[in-house]
Structure 1
């Protein structure tokens, strides 16, 4: 029991101090060691620095190995979209076509389109931020509303709920329940609608309240975004082309080109094509997008070398924050107290959908990762969920959709890597933005999960 207290204390401090602006890179290993130290009080072993060097740093290193190319290329791509004037051109086009007052919808739906197209939510943050900043600046909308708008479009319904989404949170349950990405489509659409419209109602109210009080975009001296004269902006077709190419290329490479290649040589690297095809497709797609952005806008950007250097530099803090959070979560999940927590969540409720939702969501909150929490929950409890669901006449498809939606609730607590990355990219703080981010990515998704649990329990699929 003392081990459980250690985990709760460690997690509470991580959330509080992250909200107060402390560095996750500094906090994560210290608080992972704190939680591990509580093993001493239960007669266990505390391995001291080995936990840091061998457990925490190994997990951090594996994450950097797997995702640094995506972070780096995503940051470069976003910087090129800004420096070339493409972000401003897209923002101008959207504001003219959508009309005044539709800027929030434009940003949320832009994020939704590219993440549903398979682009990583981290890349969405890099790519959409300069567009959103230009659009919000033109409309006089407070910048603190922008990170929640990006989070709503990228971190919620397209990540977990919409049938067929290629995001990993929708793929993980397939191997455990024998389902596909379109499982329980009615429940998925209902959950997505609650997240989208609930989030939009909240953000619209918050935006209108702030603007009525006289708050504008604000002065952000640290913001290094390019502002061009309108006559120098690229045409909309040229501005949007790199984004379209990234989405289209990602689909083509993942579904066709890489699928047909002979990748038997990967055995010598200890992996398989199915494990790397998603990353490979996105890396190649981002390279194509970067090259096209440079070729189409070479004369508009000044020094391309400087733009590339700024993009690379911008990726370092983002990936290290997220990787540190992953290291923390992987240390926590090895502790005996974590197993106790997991078993309590499993056995508290007879309804398998409620038990599944609680375990997926809470474990995602503890690890700071939707996919991490979901993987742990299903790896540990999927057979039990299937057995209880069969006894209750509940379809495996419903289990799939509830698990996927549930992991996208408490995952975005203040210490979450994606939240920290988003705030770092936009140059904002938890204090300025987290109330709205939390409402859109934690509270409303949890409400949507409760609704589909109720509907799934009566046979709606």
Structure 2
């Protein structure tokens, strides 16, 4: 048992290190799972565990979440290539101006990501605008990644009710909840992340101004001259009201189906046709799918005459979903293999034993730890719920804790240590900005780890005292 547990720890550490070094999770996940099995002494089970356990978990994850990844990537590409993303960012820039450069960047990123645009698309779209704003305001360039991260990686990803981010969708089938779970607590967490994060960045900018630092001299040839899906060709001149409509559609239609349409529908025929279908665990996902599909269709139809190459946009959007979904699904497969080993029982009992009587704390520790190890909020959240989701739901029922509160805490926790230095999103963001970890990571960590953990602690405290609201 001890050697099996040690094997799991070694494989996890290697997964974290090699992911930081840039190796693909598509290769790392099965290889590290195989290493854990090998070190555990179960050599005869290596191939069956891969074909039956790893691939079954990977396939099951694809069945649940592939439509969300596909439509999310497609919507992000449509927003970028239609000119809607840049139109929204430019409008906020005109309204707030150079004097509020940090707030402009945070709000532009937040509005786009809350509306369903991929954080990678947002980073590529907003960075050129942020660069000019920060230069004009004499704010150090090293603060740009933190400002983009605050608007893209934090409150719109894990806290605001109804966000279509994949992190907010993952707990739905495990807890039978929806994207609006614990909306009051989510808003409180969002206000903490946004308010304290903005205060921190403004303080850093003021301190730099006092020191006479300015924007700084930078070799901009180091910036990644790329787009997330290929050669983007945005359409210029899109009116702001037209540009923001698809974002409103995503949130509005999601809420409409979640609270007005699905609760009034008689789903008994579905249960009869699909006996194994748990309708209550799927309607939250169905609402997000319908919302994203409607917004994508709206963008295509209303801008039909303006596309330079609609086929190219659709193809790049679809292909852009492949790597994220298979990376995360591979991590889920890895988690399933780890959970099948004898040594996992020790780790599971240790995690579940954290803060006995309060599964919220135990859940938060499990989610944020695995998110930190994998360098991915969606990956860590998926592994944790795949292996421990049913345990936490049972503990919540015993303690009288609402599944909606478990949902919100799980998502907030996954958005904590996920941005450790080896995180792929952080590495990509720094590459876009042409900066290094040494120059910018401290402020990124402050707004994406320290302050979100403060928000998480606040939600757990309020949830323990007053329940989900």
TM-score range, shorter chain: 0.7 to 0.9
Deviation of 1:39 after TM superposition, in Å, equals: 2.0
Deviation string for 1:340-365 (max 9, x for gaps)?
11222344656746545434433554
Relative to structure 1, the CA distance from residue 160 to residue 420 in structure 2 (aligned partners, 3 Å threshold; closer, same or farther) is closer
User: Who is 1:247 aligned against?
Assistant: 251
User: 1-side partners of 2:54 and 2:144: how far apart?
Assistant: 33
User: Who is 1:88 aligned against?
Assistant: 86
Matches within 5 A, 1:106-145: 106-109=104-107, 112=110, 119=116, 123-125=117-119, 128-129=122-123, 131-133=125-127, 135-136=129-130, 138-139=132-133
Relative to structure 1, the CA distance from residue 454 to residue 369 in structure 2 (aligned partners, 3 Å threshold; closer, same or farther) is same
Matches within 5 A, 1:52-201: 52-100=50-98, 102-109=100-107, 112=110, 119=116, 123-125=117-119, 128-129=122-123, 131-133=125-127, 135-136=129-130, 138-139=132-133, 149=147, 151-158=149-156, 160-161=158-159, 167-168=168-169, 181-182=181-182, 185=184, 191-201=189-199
Deviation string for 1:141-199 (max 9, x for gaps)?
799877755554454345555578783478689779xxx9438x5x7665444433343
Deviation of 1:99 after TM superposition, in Å, equals: 1.5
5+ residue gaps, structure 2: none
Deviation of 1:97 after TM superposition, in Å, equals: 0.8
Residues 1:329 and 2:327 are matched in the alignment? no
Name the Cα RMSD after superposition.
Answer: 4.3
Relative to structure 1, the CA distance from residue 159 to residue 60 in structure 2 (aligned partners, 3 Å threshold; closer, same or farther) is same
Does the CA contact (< 8 Å) of 1:14 and 1:31 recur in 2?
A: yes
Relative to structure 1, the CA distance from residue 455 to residue 153 in structure 2 (aligned partners, 3 Å threshold; closer, same or farther) is same
Matches within 5 A, 1:52-451: 52-100=50-98, 102-109=100-107, 112=110, 119=116, 123-125=117-119, 128-129=122-123, 131-133=125-127, 135-136=129-130, 138-139=132-133, 149=147, 151-158=149-156, 160-161=158-159, 167-168=168-169, 181-182=181-182, 185=184, 191-201=189-199, 212-215=215-218, 219-223=223-227, 224-226=231-233, 232-263=236-267, 264-269=269-274, 270-347=276-353, 349=355, 352=358, 354-365=361-372, 368-370=379-381, 372-373=383-384, 376-377=387-388, 379-380=390-391, 405-413=412-420, 423=428, 438-450=445-457
Deviation of 1:101 after TM superposition, in Å, equals: 5.0
Does the CA contact (< 8 Å) of 2:176 and 2:281 recur in 1?
A: no
Report how many aligned residue pairs link the two structures: 439
Deviation of 1:296 after TM superposition, in Å, equals: 2.4
- Secondary structure of the structure 2 residue equivalent to 1:48: helix
- Secondary structure of the structure 2 residue equivalent to 1:212: coil
Deviation of 1:254 after TM superposition, in Å, equals: 2.9
Deviation string for 1:250-302 (max 9, x for gaps)?
22233333443344235544313323323332222222222222222233321
Relative to structure 1, the CA distance from residue 343 to residue 272 in structure 2 (aligned partners, 3 Å threshold; closer, same or farther) is closer
User: Who is 1:4 aligned against?
Assistant: 5
Q: Tell me the TM-score normalised to structure 2 length.
A: 0.75
Deviation of 1:8 after TM superposition, in Å, equals: 1.7
Deviation of 1:2 after TM superposition, in Å, equals: 1.8
User: 1-side partners of 2:204 and 2:255: how far apart?
Assistant: 36
- Secondary structure of the structure 2 residue equivalent to 1:336: coil
Deviation of 1:48 after TM superposition, in Å, equals: 0.9
**Bigger Cα displacement from structure 2, 70-79 vs 187-196:** 187-196
**Bigger Cα displacement from structure 2, 437-446 vs 28-37:** 437-446
Q: Tell me the TM-score normalised to structure 1 length.
A: 0.76
